[in-house]
């Protein structure tokens, strides 16, 4: 299988001669199978209709030129897929591409399309975007339609775009959200820099993010989110229960990859009491983030606690779930979050994550655009 075919698993040619965009293979395209990168769905019937986001893109003149690969059943952080092949990280080929929307991030980084759609249930847009050195946005929960997107039922998952620049990412959001307003003036925006314990982050990654925030010349203050760790754990509990409900039946076929099958079987043990506790924590953490955003327009923190793992050390997906330590909590709370691609002095990818109030996706994009225009991003140093 060629390198491009590990990124694009179904070439398409839909729509006008407009800008090229690809969609993750959890998003229905009429006449094509939606297989979620799994052999368990190899014989599934083609989708009968487009997902709403596909309709919107085609109506707006975009050209859909492929469906992208992913971590099987969208249930993994590394992007490694033993059935379809793992999408190569175009800029960092010895590192994982990140999951689960690995192919979408890689397609944008490789220049196979101007933009791509992914889905983010526990960091699955922001993590691969950070790994591959591109911009990636998880919108507010419910802001973008999920009609025709796997899984059908979720309290965490969001459809969102990848791009190599903010202007393209914003143009996609304007299509996906019919009510996406003009970007506000953020000249006086304040940034709440989330305090991260030293033992939770690679000091080199922390330094890159701090330097970027300093270079943005935007007003900043430190903020605490005391329940970040608890929210990460609660997010894992919710995604485990919802993923088992959505995909558990396929485990019995014997066709699900071992890494994903074992995670799903472990997820099946999630108890109602654990879920109830997680939902209670969701309310607590959501209120905590809301309160932090009362004194600033956005929160800022690293997208990942470390550089992307080398492929040679990424065989056990479960051992690398911590890649999502700083992103998963905001799936639980439903706040919009974006990652800006940075690069370390050693030439390795780092992500700067920004978080805004629920529904304030325009504000988030405006601040991200302002910061990206004032600093050196990964896209500019390639």
Which of 38, 100, 140, 171 is the catalytic position? 100
Active site residue 24: yes
For 61, other C-beta atoms within 10 Å of its C-beta total: 12
CB 365 within 8 A of CB 166: yes
Active site residue 138: no
Point out which residues pair with 351 in neighbouring strands: 341
Active site residue 124: yes
Sign of the torsion angle spanned by Cα atoms 52, 53, 58, 60:
positive
Structure-block tokens of residue 22: 């690809």
Q: Position of tokens 């175009």?
A: 90
For 381, other C-beta atoms within 10 Å of its C-beta total: 11
CB 127 within 8 A of CB 305: no
Give the separation between CA 323 and CA 342, rounded to whole angstroms: 17
For 187, other C-beta atoms within 10 Å of its C-beta total: 8
Sign of the torsion angle spanned by Cα atoms 378, 157, 300, 115:
positive
Query: Which of 42, 118, 126 lies closest to 84, judged by CA?
Result: 42
The verdict on whether omega for the bond into residue 151 sits within 30 degrees of 0, i.e. cis, is yes
Which of 38, 101, 102, 124 is the catalytic position? 124
CB 285 within 8 A of CB 332: yes
For 291, other C-beta atoms within 10 Å of its C-beta total: 11
Which of 24, 140, 216, 243 is the catalytic position? 24
DSSP H stretches of helix in the chain: 3-7, 52-59, 102-109, 126-132, 166-176, 203-216, 228-251, 258-267, 272-292, 329-333, 361-374, 378-381
Catalytic residues: 24, 100, 124
């Amino acid at each position: 299988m060629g390198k491009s075919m590990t990124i694009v698993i179904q070439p398409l040619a839909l729509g006008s001669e407009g800008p090229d965009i690809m969609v993750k293979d959890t998003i229905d395209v009429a006449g094509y199978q939606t297989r979620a990168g799994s052999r368990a769905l190899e014989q599934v019937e083609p989708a009968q209709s487009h997902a709403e986001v596909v309709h919107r893109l085609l109506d707006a003149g975009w050209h859909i030129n492929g469906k992208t690969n992913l971590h099987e059943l969208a249930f993994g952080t590394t992007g490694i897929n033993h059935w379809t092949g793992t999408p190569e990280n175009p800029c960092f080929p010895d590192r994982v591409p990140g999951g689960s929307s690995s192919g979408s991030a890689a397609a944008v980084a490789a220049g196979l399309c101007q933009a791509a759609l992914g889905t983010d249930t526990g960091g699955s847009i922001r993590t691969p975007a950070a790994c591959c050195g591109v911009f990636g946005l998880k919108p507010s929960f419910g802001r973008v339609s999920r009609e025709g997107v796997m899984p059908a039922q979720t309290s965490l998952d969001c459809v969102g775009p990848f791009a190599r620049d903010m202007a393209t990412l914003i143009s996609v959001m304007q299509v996906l959200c019919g009510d996406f307003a003009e970007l506000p003036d953020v000249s006086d925006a304040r940034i709440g820099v989330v305090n991260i314990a030293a033992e939770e982050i690679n000091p080199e990654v922390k330094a890159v993010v701090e330097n970027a925030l300093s270079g943005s010349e935007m007003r900043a203050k430190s903020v605490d989110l005391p329940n970040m760790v608890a929210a990460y754990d609660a997010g894992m509990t919710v995604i485990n229960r919802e993923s088992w409900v959505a995909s558990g039946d396929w485990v019995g076929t014997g066709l699900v990859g071992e890494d994903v099958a074992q995670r799903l079987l472990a997820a099946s043990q999630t108890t109602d009491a654990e879920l109830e506790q997680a939902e209670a924590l969701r309310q607590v953490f959501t209120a905590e983030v809301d309160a932090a955003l009362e004194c600033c327009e956005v929160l800022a923190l690293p997208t990942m606690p470390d550089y992307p793992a080398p492929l040679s050390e990424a065989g056990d997906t479960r051992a690398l779930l911590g890649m999502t330590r700083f992103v998963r909590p905001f799936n639980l709370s439903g706040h919009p979050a974006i990652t800006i691609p940075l690069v370390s002095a050693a030439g390795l990818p780092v992500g700067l994550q920004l978080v805004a109030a629920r529904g304030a996706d325009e504000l988030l994009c405006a601040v991200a655009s302002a910061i990206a225009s004032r600093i050196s991003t990964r896209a500019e140093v390639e």
